[in-house]
């Protein structure tokens, strides 16, 4: 922001990436936020990572029962700078840099009171219809869902706290601990983050599969101990046998991060008897799976939806150097180049694509 101007000035740039309907995404000026209310902060967006859900909303206009019926600002993997604080905010001040947890629950329902606030039906979640996201210059957010970044943690790392939090929640749900042997299916951003978290949690053997050899090479750099390139030319039985042979073990926990039906089936069949399968990737509403095999082998199948209480751990893991998320970033764009960035994301050629929304 230029000296001696305020966010209420009519000439302040609030360029935003707005989805109007499937295939119709526009860069346009949107109304500036009002002054922050009680326990709110006004923020200037710094970095935003493109999530697969952002691309899906753009291409399809919705995900499941979340349908874009009114114009909606995209983006939720975000770091920002505090511009102004509202009444009651004591842990932040103007100039602080923060990572944004994009989901703000109602705080009053049974799920919230039981601690499962990620399951709150009344949650505000950035860039989930009808809630606006963060691919904009300025926005407001609940102050207690903003986490201050240490000076040595970059804005890009701050934006990556969101996908890292998904992986933390998944590894917590899987009970991953020291000495375990696990498998990750899918080497996209969440799969790669899961490798990093599992390694930080002490897993000694971390296998990973994908259809993209370059992503598997990156996974190896991040700490995967073995990789397996999936092939359409192999039958399911052949794939199961080949994965076990490559790994040299039957994984105690399998983290399915792709959402593909074939991968979900594989996750159940390769898992060790008595092990745990975590379904992280979002795919079709209904899939055909070998449920009897899971039941007879006492394989637990657990869902993962976003995260809860993961952001403080994400900040600590990055700040302490236990986890380095920077290699996951493959491309960088300015907000003005958002269409180009989204086209690249849709092509599948990037890994984590970062958009700079700052004015500096």
Q: For each of the chain's 360 residues, which pLDDT tens digit applies?
A: 443 345 555 568 999 999 999 999 999 999 999 999 999 999 999 999 999 999 999 999 998 889 999 999 999 999 999 999 999 999 999 999 999 999 999 999 999 999 999 999 999 999 999 999 999 999 999 999 999 999 999 999 999 999 999 999 999 999 999 999 999 999 999 999 999 999 999 999 999 999 999 999 999 999 999 999 999 999 999 999 999 999 999 999 999 999 999 999 999 999 999 999 999 998 888 999 999 999 999 999 999 999 999 999 999 999 999 999 999 999 999 999 999 999 999 999 999 999 999 886
For the chain, domain boundaries:
15-160+325-356, 165-303
**pLDDT confidence of residue 5:** 40
CATH class of segment(s) 165-303? alpha beta
**Residues 76 and 134: beta-carbon distance below 8 Å:** yes
What does the block give as tokens for 146? 């903003």
Quick one: how many helices (H) and strands (E) in the chain? 11, 20
* Torsion from C-alpha of 283, 284, 289, 295, nearest 10 degrees: 70
Fold agreement (15-160+325-356, 165-303): no
**pLDDT confidence of residue 3:** 37
Task: Quote the CATH superfamily of domain 15-160+325-356.
Answer: Medium-chain alcohol dehydrogenases, catalytic domain (3.90.180.10)
**Nearest alpha carbon to residue 137 among 7, 28, 45, 72:** 45
**pLDDT confidence of residue 6:** 54
The model's pTM is 0.94
Q: Kindly report the CA angle at 195 between 190 and 198, in degrees rounded to 5?
A: 115
**pLDDT confidence of residue 2:** 40
**pLDDT confidence of residue 4:** 38
**Residues 134 and 54: beta-carbon distance below 8 Å:** no
What does the block give as tokens for 45? 């967006």
């Amino acid at each position: 922001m230029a000296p001696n101007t305020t966010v209420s000035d009519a000439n302040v740039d609030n360029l935003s990436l707005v989805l109007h309907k499937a295939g119709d995404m526009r860069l346009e000026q949107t109304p500036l936020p009002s002054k922050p209310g009680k326990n709110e902060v006004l923020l200037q967006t710094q970095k935003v990572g493109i999530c697969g859900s952002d691309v899906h909303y753009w291409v399809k206009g919705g995900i499941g029962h979340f349908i874009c019926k009114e114009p909606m600002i995209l983006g939720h993997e975000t770091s920002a700078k505090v511009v102004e604080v509202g009444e009651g905010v004591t842990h932040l001040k103007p100039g602080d840099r923060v990572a944004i947890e994009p989901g703000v629950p109602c705080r009053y329902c049974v799920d919230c009171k039981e601690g499962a606030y990620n399951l709150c039906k009344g949650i505000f979640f950035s860039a989930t219809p009808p809630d606006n996201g963060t691919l904009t210059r300025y926005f407001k957010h609940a102050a207690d869902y903003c986490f201050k970044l240490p000076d040595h943690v970059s804005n890009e790392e701050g934006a990556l706290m969101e996908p890292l939090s998904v992986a933390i929640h998944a590894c917590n749900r899987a009970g991953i601990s020291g000495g375990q042997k696990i498998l990750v299916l899918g080497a996209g951003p969440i799969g790669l983050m899961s490798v990093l978290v599992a390694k930080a949690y002490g897993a000694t053997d971390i296998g990973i599969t994908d259809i993209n050899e370059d992503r598997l090479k990156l996974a190896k750099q991040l700490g995967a101990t073995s990789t397996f390139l999936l092939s359409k030319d192999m039958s399911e039985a052949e794939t199961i046998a080949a994965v076990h042979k490559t790994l040299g073990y039957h994984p105690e926990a399998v983290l399915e991060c792709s959402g593909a039906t074939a991968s979900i089936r594989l996750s159940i069949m390769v898992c060790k008897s008595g092990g745990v399968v975590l379904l992280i990737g979002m795919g079709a509403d209904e899939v055909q799976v070998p449920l009897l095999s899971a039941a007879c082998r006492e394989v637990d199948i657990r869902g993962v939806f976003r995260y809860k209480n993961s952001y403080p751990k994400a900040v600590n893991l990055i700040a302490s150097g236990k986890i380095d998320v920077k290699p996951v970033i493959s491309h960088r764009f300015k907000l003005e180049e958002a269409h180009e960035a989204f086209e690249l994301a849709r092509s599948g050629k990037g890994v984590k694509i970062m958009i700079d929304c700052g004015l500096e």
